[in-house]
Every structure is written in structure tokens, then in C-alpha cells.
Structure 1
Amino acid sequence: MGSQKKILVITGSPHKGNTFRECETLRCLLNKEIPVEFEYLWLKDVNLLPCRGCLLCFSRGEESCPNHDDAPLIEQKMREADGVIFATPVYGMNVTGQMKIFIDRFCYIFHRPRFFEKRTLLLATTGALGHVEVLKYLDTVARVWGFEIAGTVGLVTPIPLPSHRAEKNQTAIAKGAKQFAAALKCPVRKNPDLRDIILFHGQRAVFSQIEELSPADYQYWKDMGWFEKGVKYFIDIPVNPVYHGIGLFVEWITKHKVRKEFLISPEE
């Protein structure tokens, strides 16, 4: 069946309820496809301070953040895992407060993505509504951070749970397990889709123009070689030529907009 895969489950739930139980179901299903070792990271138990909005991580780098907490340790855990599961119940039509603090605290990764070799599965539970919106939000976060989105699982878990809903949940989580297992087994990342290509070119347009405004971001992109001519994506992987053409057009439009909005004074 292959070597055991290390899975980090980052959960925004404040207690061991439906989200935890569904993650355990997922673990059992995954083990039927591929050997996995789960590590749960309970955001409620870690020292993760709210973002202060000082922007120092953008201008000077994340090392300059005034919050001295567990963020470096959490990032290291994500780097060491073969796959990451982002799991949260729906609170107020969004992720939980714990999950939002986590996402905000790592906002510098939106500017300096890094998890291109990692697969992720997104899981949301709700009593009635909101799981679709939450999964879309988590998809955006994980995609911009560099993760390959291997699957999404949205589960409606009212109490009591009707039999028809239980069957739908079982089908959804079984499908997610198979998708995640398949991605973990695959030695190479799947090719980027149009959204990924537009994201790359849009960001390249921005960060190539803001060396003075955001030097840490600019230097990161330069060091990664992403400003070099001919680079089509964050990593060396086949890119659909039509997507590439659309991406270049988006980059051209975005670059001119950035110059107009931020770098050219009214007098000019």
C-alpha cells in the first residue's frame, strides 16, 4: 500500500464534537486506501495571538512580527506533513474564531506562498447552512498559500441526524477520502488550473512593482526566481498554453493598474 503518510489536521473547533468525529471517520476511510498517521493541531490549545495589522511581515518579513507565539512551530508542522486537513465547524456563516485567527496570523503567506508540495483536504461541518461558503473561503486561502486542493467535504450534521442526511454525509466523506488518498499517492502535483495561473500572474504583476512599498515581498519573489522571463507558474510544471496566454494578459492589465494606483503621482 505504500509508505505511511503524515497528515496534520488543523481544527478550528473549540471541542471534540461533530468536526472531530467526522475527521476520525475520514482517518478510517483513508487508512483503507493508504496508511496514514494523523496529528491533530487544536487551535484552541495553541498560543496564537491575533494579528495586529502592523504590516511588518509584509515590509520586513515574518521574523519581524511583534507577536511571539507558536506560529513558527505551526508553520514547521505544515512543512513536515505530507498532507494537511483544514477542518472547522461553521460559526456565524464563516469559520470559527480560532480558525480565523490562525488564517490572519499567517497572512504573510498570502504574499509569499510556499506549500506547493503539499496536498490539502478541506472539511466543514454545519447544523444547517454555511458550509458551501466556508469551503469556498478555505479553498481560496489554501490555494493562495500554495496547497494543491485534493478535495472538499461539506457535512450537514443537525441533531437529530435524519437517515437521508447521514447517507449524504457518508457519500461525501467517502468521496473526499478517495480524492485525498489519490493525491497523496501521486508523486507529482496535478497541473494548475486557470484560477491558479491567473493567481500567479496577478501576484507577479503586483509584487514586481512594489519593491519600495513591500521590500520583503519583492525580495521573496525575486529570490524564488518568479520574476524571471518565461516563468509560467510557481513551480516547474506543465501549464496549459491557453491558460498561460490569459495569465499574461491579466498580468499586463494588473501591472498597469498597480503603476497607476500606487506609483504614479497625480502630477505625472
Structure 2
Amino acid sequence: MSTTDPKHILIIMGSPRKGNTFHACEMFREYLEQEIPVQCEYIWLKDLNLHPCRGCLLCFTKGEQACPIHDDIPGIQEKMRKADAVIFASPVYAMNVPSQLKLMIDRLSFTFHRPEYFDKKAFLIATTGALGHEDVLKYLADVAGIWGFEVVGKAGMVTPIPVPAHLAERNRKTLQQTAHTFSAALKRTRRRSPGLKDVIIFHGQRAAFSQLKAVSPADYHYWNEKGWLDKKVKFFVPVPVNPLSHAIGVLVEWIAAKKVRKDLIQNPGANE
């Protein structure tokens, strides 16, 4: 793809209606188009055939292809894989994301163990009538980050009905400013170095999955095939890692590995 080709932006819409969240996404898209050529595609979760996770753990033990539920989840995966970036858009429902979006996240739980979207960037949008948008943005940042996305920006907006003029203006400026930030990230080809939290997650997961070949074989083989079980590997992707963050990550991995071994000894049949 050349620098003049439009970036393919996938917008995963967590709202069940074309309300404040949709209008925020459209305004954000308009500002983004002023910065960089983009091609936006919406996924309306409310219109898809999605079924709740059954908690059978087959995606951990045998892989996601063993899931007994056959619906539109694989299609969502493919669209995320083909996109240059994904916008996760959500209103606040009961201080969290709506059920449609939570259902999707639950069904993709194996991605927390087997992350893959390292060449993708993510942007987060949350709207609320009063409270909760910061919590939703933090939750979505954790989800997207652990899935492998480079989270490059977020926008939280308070949108009571009717929206006062001063809030409308503040929301507009937020979307305009963050669109500029997002466009700059899309132009950047190299992934940023991971933060301390990301490094700790990598080492903590390696401590677990390196010893769970029998308990979670799909996870173990995925990590092994990616080369992440090699102690020389400092992160999921070859980017510079802060030496202090690496040292802390190694310590966390040692402590976590020791705990996993203890748990396996106490339950000897778990890893036979």
C-alpha cells in the first residue's frame, strides 16, 4: 500500500442505535478525512448473528476452530485482520459497554491468550449521558492492548439530552484534536515501544503458557510457534524495550513461573 492509498478503518459499533455514539464516529470520520485518505467500514454488532460464550474452554484447549458456536464471530476476526486500524465505539450502559459489545469480547476471549493484531492501530470512542466513559475507555484500552493492537488514542464525550452548547463545543474539539493524533499515528509505520504494563503482561503470560502444554495446549503451541517462549525474546514484536521495563518484566516472569509450578504441583494431574 502506498502512502496515498486510503487507510482502511473498521468501526466496530457497540451501540444498538444510530445515536450519540454513531454521530460522534461520523464527526470523527469527517475530521479524519481532512487529515488523511481513509475508507471507513462499519460493523453494527446489533445486526449480526452472535451468540453468548458457553464457557466450555475449547478455544483454550483445542483452538478457536473447535468452538461449538457457529455464528458471525469469525467474520469479525477477518475484518479486523484486513483493516489498517479499528475504532471501538461504545456508549456507556450501566457503567460498562453494551451487551452486544461485551458479547463479542467474551467470544474472542482466546485472543487475550493468543494476541495477533500487532500491525493494527486502535482508537477508542465512548459516549455517556453523565458518567462512566473513562471506565469504558480504560476497559476497551485493556482489551485492545492485550489483543495486540497499538492503542493510539481515545475520545470520551458527555452527551446528555439535550447537549448544552458548551459541551457540544468541547466534544467537537475533542474529536478534532484526537482525529489529528490518530491520523499522525496512521502515517507512522513503525510501532511504538511498549510501556511497562505491556512488558509485564508479556512476561507474565510467558511464565504461564510455557508450563501449560497439557492444560491449554492451543495457547502453548501458539506461543511456541510464534517464538515467544524463547527467553531471548523481549516482547511480542521486535521493537526496542526499555531496559528497566525489561528487568521488571523478567522479575515478574520469574515470580509468576514459580507460582504456576507450585499450582501444578498441588494439582499434579493438571499438566500430565
What TM bracket, shorter-length normalisation?
A: over 0.9
Post-superposition shift, 1:37?
0.7
Mapped contact 1:93–1:134 kept (Cα < 8 A):
yes
- Alignment length, in residue pairs? 266
User: Which deviates more from structure 2 when the two are superposed, residues 162-171 or residues 74-83?
Assistant: 162-171
Mapped contact 1:115–1:147 kept (Cα < 8 A):
yes
Match for residue 103 of structure 1?
105
Match for residue 10 of structure 2?
8
Secondary structure in 2 matching 1:217: helix
**Aligned-CA RMSD value:** 1.1
Secondary structure in 2 matching 1:78: helix
Post-superposition shift, 1:257?
1.0
Post-superposition shift, 1:220?
0.3
User: Which deviates more from structure 2 when the two are superposed, residues 162-171 or residues 10-19?
Assistant: 162-171
Post-superposition shift, 1:200?
0.5
Partners in 1 of 2:10 and 2:50 — Cα distance? 17
Spell out the pairing of 1:27-66 with structure 2 (5 A cutoff): 27-66=29-68
Match for residue 24 of structure 2?
22
Mapped contact 1:113–1:144 kept (Cα < 8 A):
yes
Partners in 1 of 2:177 and 2:247 — Cα distance? 34
Give the TM-score normalised by the residue count of structure 1.
Answer: 0.97
Q: 1:238 aligns with which of 222, 225, 240?
A: 240
User: Which deviates more from structure 2 when the two are superposed, residues 222-231 or residues 167-176?
Assistant: 167-176
Q: 2:260 aligns with which of 252, 258, 262?
A: 258
Paired letter, 1:264:
I
Match for residue 138 of structure 1?
140
Secondary structure in 2 matching 1:144: helix
Secondary structure in 1 matching 2:266: coil
Match for residue 226 of structure 1?
228
Structure 1 residue runs of 5 or longer lacking an equivalent are none
Q: 1:199 aligns with which of 201, 205, 211?
A: 201
Secondary structure in 2 matching 1:58: helix
Partners in 1 of 2:232 and 2:38 — Cα distance? 38
Paired letter, 2:11:
V
Mapped contact 1:121–1:176 kept (Cα < 8 A):
no
Post-superposition shift, 1:170?
1.5
Partners in 2 of 1:55 and 1:188 — Cα distance? 35
Q: 2:161 aligns with which of 155, 159, 162?
A: 159
Paired letter, 2:111:
I
Partners in 1 of 2:85 and 2:247 — Cα distance? 31
Structure 2 residue runs of 5 or longer lacking an equivalent are none
Partners in 1 of 2:68 and 2:54 — Cα distance? 8
Q: 1:113 aligns with which of 112, 115, 120?
A: 115
Partners in 2 of 1:119 and 1:208 — Cα distance? 28
User: Which deviates more from structure 2 when the two are superposed, residues 113-122 or residues 183-192?
Assistant: 183-192
Paired letter, 1:246:
I
Post-superposition shift, 1:266?
7.5
